[in-house]
Amino acid sequence: MHDPATELAEVEESEARISGSPAAMPATHWRLVLSARDRDSPGADAALASLCEAYWFPLYKFVRRGGFNHHDAQDLTQAFFQRLLQRDWLQGVDQAKGRFRTFLLCALANFLANHRQRVSAVKRGGLAETVACREDTDEPSLAEREAQGPDASVEFDQLWCCALAKQALCRLQREYERCGRIKMFRALSPLLTSPVAAGFYEQTARRLQCTEGALRIRTHRLFQRFGELLRTEVARTVSDPELVEEELRAVVKCWARSV
């Protein structure tokens, strides 16, 4: 027989361990950029690795929309991040420009445009002895034209938002793992992307050996903590704190459409 009062106290203690004490706001991705652009900085490589890990896939998909095959898109995405350091592209970064995703997408578009110009130049005459020049060399393919249109940017935004949500979710999972509540996380986390099925609380409470009331409290706390972590991730990608709420709303709206 569960004692609701005792169980409520246990829930509050467990959730306090999960959330932990208020921590200092982590360094924004703008700070990672500023570190990465200093090639003499001991943290430059780590900063670039962090950027690649966080935003590689949305940028890779944008390259794929440009008509490149899987392997070429991988190589171009990796080369893009390398050029950010090797060609001093980051020297012109201005935190006042606002959103980090806007900076990355514009930089990638310029990178791909330069790549196409080099390839086109080679086809026109750089390797005239071995490569035949086609009449449609300068005409972009349908996939390339689509990648230059609004749909590619929309897809990038959707993938970007999903990447932020995934990072927040991974951090939340690690918090539950550290305090030994991973079973609770696995049971409740699907509710972040799916509606509550009929009988869910009754069946799950029975399986986890707790009351429905305690389970509902834990669900509320999980949603609340996920929101806090997602807000932290969003805050790291904007230079102006006043942009956080606006960007957070955009991320939540975009992510909701993709799940």
The pTM of the full predicted model, rounded to 2 decimals, is 0.70
Confirm if 155 and 62 have CB atoms less than 8 A apart.
Answer: yes
**Predicted pLDDT at 137:** 35
Q: Pick the closest to residue 216 from 202, 195, 197, 198 (CA basis).
A: 202
Q: Is the Cα dihedral 204, 207, 208, 211 positive or negative? A: positive
Q: Where are the alpha helices (DSSP H) in the chain?
A: 4-19, 29-36, 44-64, 70-86, 100-121, 142-147, 150-178, 182-188, 200-208, 212-235, 244-258
Going from the C-alpha of 61 to that of each of 22, 69, 71, 72, 188, the distances in angstroms are: 36, 11, 12, 12, 30
Cα separation of 226 and 15, whole Å?
Answer: 12
**Predicted pLDDT at 67:** 87
Burial of 155 (0-12, 13-18, 19+ CB in 10 A): middle
Confirm if 164 and 58 have CB atoms less than 8 A apart.
Answer: no
At 177, which amino acid appears?
E
Q: How far apart are the first and last CA of the chain?
A: 38
Tokens 């982590």, residue located = 26
Q: What is the pLDDT along the chain (259 residues), one digit of tens a residue?
A: 455 445 544 544 555 555 554 443 344 566 666 666 666 666 666 766 776 777 889 999 999 988 899 999 999 998 988 777 665 666 665 655 567 788 788 888 888 988 988 887 776 655 444 333 333 334 444 344 444 555 788 888 888 888 889 889 999 999 999 999 999 999 999 999 889 999 999 999 999 999 999 999 999 999 999 999 999 888 888 777 788 898 899 888 888 877 7
Cα separation of 221 and 207, whole Å?
Answer: 19
**Predicted pLDDT at 205:** 95
Cα separation of 33 and 27, whole Å?
Answer: 11
Going from the C-alpha of 45 to that of each of 21, 31, 57, 201, 233, the distances in angstroms are: 31, 13, 19, 47, 21
Q: Is the Cα dihedral 50, 55, 61, 63 positive or negative? A: negative
Burial of 19 (0-12, 13-18, 19+ CB in 10 A): middle
